[in-house]
Structure 1
Amino acid sequence: MAADVVIVGAGIVGAACARALARAGARVVVLDRGAAAAGTSAHGEGNLLVSDKGPGPELELAKVSLRRWAALADELAGELGPRFPSIEHDAKGGLVVVTSADGLTGLRRFAAAQRASGVEAVEVGADRARELEPDLAPGVLGAVHYPQDAQVQPVAAAEALLASARRAGADVRTGVEVTGPLLGADGELAGVATSRGEIPAGAVVVAAGPWSGEVAERLGSRIAVRPRRGMVLVTSPMPQRIRHKVYDGDYFAATQSAGAELQTSAVVESTRGGTVLIGSSREQVGFDDRLRTEVLAQMARRAVAVFPFLARTNVMRSYLGFRPYMPDHLPVIGPDPVRAGLWFATGHEGAGVGLAPTTGDLVAAQLLGLEPPTDPRPFAADRPSLVEAEPGATRPPAQEVRS
């Protein structure tokens, strides 16, 4: 059966695209070579943040998505009913803390720029910071409180979006790998060949996270997405002592770094189940999934510097995942400039959960000629900042794959 749109990737971004397109009336097929929400979406913390984004296109996307998530939590609960697991939307707010005078000056400057862009960023002194988080380390000099920051359970949220998409007619197929393109008479993409047969389609959306580059090459194009590995520590359940998402002032610099070397910062928050999630790390090592205990140790030391009580807390497990990194730190949301019929929704790095709803709405709007929720131009695959950072990223391989 032909589809209007094939979406490659059943993580949270692919799920959001599927829901938006299916609810707008498109015939949608979602493909994933593994299980749904089993890749990057299953190895993150479910952050919905504005606190870590400076003024610019990503912040604008995040502000729209935060509002969408608040509405989606109610929409999905009402649509799917009480038997479906909650997405655990929690508008807990964020707290960015600093321990040096220089750090405080930099944080103030950053927060002022965010406020000018419409973010709620409330500077608080050391005493007020400890009212918000009583267990903070004595060395914390000040903080900025971000009431808009929130969190969802990422796997539950992705599954809920997919369930909603199915209710709107989407066909979700797992264990199906895309192996090549189906091409039309003029070389346009007209569907995909898969491990389970051919699927004709009017458009193909690659939403395969850090594996999007591999999928793009199979379909006769290129995209500069690369994997950036991150690790998380999970404590044993305990009575909740951490009320917000709390991180140190180095986190923003780590997210924006272009270096391949290890970047760590303290990122600490509680879950509804009583565990504490401790991050974060970033390093470019390809798809190397070997555990590095020195990375976990560095993360633990940084977390204890913010919350000393964690030094007496048992760690239950750790996990790692791969984020889809783009060299100019913006996702790609829109058509491929080389191959007609090929679209992208990828490259969100660690912000995919937060940005997923508006990404899906942007893809649907561009594909179906609807009014976009925000300006799509900054996320184009041939934007100048991406072409300059990664020349040739959108040119086809020398040897095209044909089917």
Structure 2
Amino acid sequence: MLPDVVVVGAGIAGAACAEALSAAGVRVTVLDRGAPASGTTAAGEGNVLISDKAPGPELALAQASLARWPVLLESLEADVEWQAKGGLVVALSSLDALTDFASGQRAAGVRAEVVSASDALALEPGLTPSVVGGVYYPEDAQLQPVLAATALLGAVRRRGGSVLAGVTALGMRPGGVMTSVGFLPCGAVVNACGPWAGEFGAAAGAPLAVMPRRGMILVLACPLYTRVIHKVYDADYVGAVESSDADLQTSTVVESTMAGSVLVGSSRERVGFDSSLRVDVLRVLARKAVRLFPPLAEVPVIRAYGGFRPYVADHLPVIGADPRVPGLWHVTGHEGAGIGLAAGTGQLFADLFLGREPVVDPAPFRVDRDGVMV
């Protein structure tokens, strides 16, 4: 059976769109030039965050996604190391900026609880005594991104769809998509190529201003004398996420995994597709993590990894049909929030594709907004 839709990109965004379409009875084929979930998805931390998003369209999509993830995972009977652990944002100087940010979020329906220094230390005993307080976000969660993408793609296969690894999409022509193994007829093509979405968009006749933004993560051994219970980050993180600066941005993010390791981030810089790991950046991440959690100074580093996130200048995902090429849709631009936003993104995309009432207002994510189409 020929597919109704070909999804180009087997990362978390493409997998979520394919799953949502297949659940509605659409025949789907997913292509990836590499192994499924081996690109940006494999380089993520698995964050499902509300805490770092200001009121607006991205927060609305994050809230829809947060509500959908547990229901979706239950329906798939998938173990993806889901942890509804909550997040703690801490300040080492003034709390004013954090409390103002949290106040705006609460008005948008986010649970954000201002905590004192003693409360923060009670939540995370390994924190430095220098914290002056923070904001606790009980809704923040975490999952293992490769397991999640694999579970979504598994559902596509069970419903009769296909997942083709090692197949490169080369462009479009009427009635289908050109690939490295020949022409594949289909009714529509979804560009879910993440940081490479601009590249495939250009090949399909619809270039996008999507750029790679590189990030690096340290993985530490399991600390025996302290635990990191929540996702913990400092007040600089939100500013780094929202920054459009191409230069290096770093902030402290520390969290544990169900495997027992500790992940330390985060960094952001626009350096093209330069995949080299920079030791100087890793040193900055390590120093900042120890400043926040002094006991981590004695914990050995297991490894470091990095990857590219799909950056758009206005920091909003691109979700919708391309007005320039009939049958071409785009789902990209989530930058470092793609794991958390994936469930809601898949639902929104399927709503638009099938003509259903959209789960959130799709207008802010449209392809033809300022600064997206080249």
* TM-score for the superposition, normalised by structure 2: 0.98
User: Is contact 2:215-2:308 (8 Å) kept?
Assistant: yes
In the alignment, is residue 253 of structure 1 matched against residue 239 of structure 2?
Answer: yes
- The residue that corresponds to 2:208 in the other structure is 223
Alpha-carbon shift at residue 238 of structure 1 (Å): 3.3
- The residue that corresponds to 1:9 in the other structure is 9
Equivalent residue in structure 1 for 2:173, among 177, 182, 188: 182
In the alignment, is residue 309 of structure 1 matched against residue 290 of structure 2?
Answer: no
Alpha-carbon shift at residue 15 of structure 1 (Å): 0.5
Alpha-carbon shift at residue 291 of structure 1 (Å): 1.5
Q: How many angstroms apart in 1 are the aligned matches of 2:313 and 2:19? A: 29
- The residue that corresponds to 1:131 in the other structure is 122
User: Is contact 2:223-2:296 (8 Å) kept?
Assistant: no
- The residue that corresponds to 2:153 in the other structure is 162
- The residue that corresponds to 2:24 in the other structure is 24
User: Is contact 1:338-1:394 (8 Å) kept?
Assistant: no
Alpha-carbon shift at residue 272 of structure 1 (Å): 0.8
**Equivalent runs, 1:43-58 vs 2, <5 Å:** 43-58=43-58
- The residue that corresponds to 2:314 in the other structure is 328
Alpha-carbon deviations, 1:333-356, whole Å to 9, x = none?
001121121101100000101011
In the alignment, is residue 275 of structure 1 matched against residue 266 of structure 2?
Answer: no
4+ aligned runs moved over 2 Å, structure 1: 237-240
- The residue that corresponds to 2:373 in the other structure is 394
Q: How many angstroms apart in 2 are the aligned matches of 1:380 and 1:223? A: 12
**Equivalent runs, 1:61-80 vs 2, <5 Å:** 61-77=61-77
Alpha-carbon deviations, 1:14-58, whole Å to 9, x = none?
000011001101111110000000000001100000000000000
User: Is contact 2:322-2:367 (8 Å) kept?
Assistant: yes
- The residue that corresponds to 1:398 in the other structure is none
Q: How many angstroms apart in 1 are the aligned matches of 2:298 and 2:116? A: 27
**Equivalent runs, 1:87-236 vs 2, <5 Å:** 87-101=80-94, 104-183=95-174, 190-236=175-221
Alpha-carbon shift at residue 202 of structure 1 (Å): 1.1
Identical-residue share of aligned pairs (%): 58
Alpha-carbon deviations, 1:289-327, whole Å to 9, x = none?
111111000111111111001111100100001000010
Which letter does structure 1 place at the counterpart of 2:240? A
User: Is contact 2:121-2:129 (8 Å) kept?
Assistant: no
Alpha-carbon shift at residue 237 of structure 1 (Å): 2.5
Q: How many angstroms apart in 1 are the aligned matches of 2:70 and 2:24? A: 20
Q: Which segment is superposed worse, 87-96 or 230-239?
A: 230-239
- The residue that corresponds to 1:42 in the other structure is 42
Alpha-carbon deviations, 1:364-396, whole Å to 9, x = none?
11111122111111100112xxx1xx3xx425x
Alpha-carbon shift at residue 140 of structure 1 (Å): 0.3
User: Is contact 1:336-1:394 (8 Å) kept?
Assistant: no
Q: How many angstroms apart in 2 are the aligned matches of 1:360 and 1:72? A: 11
Q: How many angstroms apart in 1 are the aligned matches of 2:333 and 2:365? A: 10
Alpha-carbon deviations, 1:63-116, whole Å to 9, x = none?
010011121232222xx6xxxxx2011000000000112xx1000100000000
Equivalent residue in structure 1 for 2:337, among 351, 367, 375: 351
- The residue that corresponds to 2:276 in the other structure is 290
User: Is contact 1:337-1:394 (8 Å) kept?
Assistant: no
Q: How many angstroms apart in 2 are the aligned matches of 1:76 and 1:368? A: 22
SS at match of 2:304: strand
Q: How many angstroms apart in 1 are the aligned matches of 2:246 and 2:10? A: 28
Aligned length: 373
**Equivalent runs, 1:239-250 vs 2, <5 Å:** 239=224, 241-250=227-236
User: Is contact 1:182-1:200 (8 Å) kept?
Assistant: no
Which letter does structure 2 place at the counterpart of 1:335? A
Q: How many angstroms apart in 2 are the aligned matches of 1:6 and 1:242? A: 41
Which letter does structure 1 place at the counterpart of 2:332? T
Q: How many angstroms apart in 2 are the aligned matches of 1:361 and 1:141? A: 40
Which letter does structure 2 place at the counterpart of 1:217? A
Alpha-carbon deviations, 1:103-130, whole Å to 9, x = none?
x100010000000000000000000111
SS at match of 1:247: strand
| RMSD (CA atoms) | 1.0
Q: Which segment is superposed worse, 368-377 or 8-17?
A: 368-377
Q: How many angstroms apart in 2 are the aligned matches of 1:90 and 1:361? A: 22
Q: How many angstroms apart in 1 are the aligned matches of 2:60 and 2:349? A: 16
SS at match of 1:259: coil
Alpha-carbon shift at residue 191 of structure 1 (Å): 1.2
SS at match of 2:186: strand
Q: How many angstroms apart in 2 are the aligned matches of 1:20 and 1:360? A: 6
Q: How many angstroms apart in 2 are the aligned matches of 1:338 and 1:201? A: 18
Alpha-carbon shift at residue 180 of structure 1 (Å): 2.0
User: Is contact 2:68-2:344 (8 Å) kept?
Assistant: yes
Instruction: List alignment gaps of at least 5 residues for structure 2.
Output: none
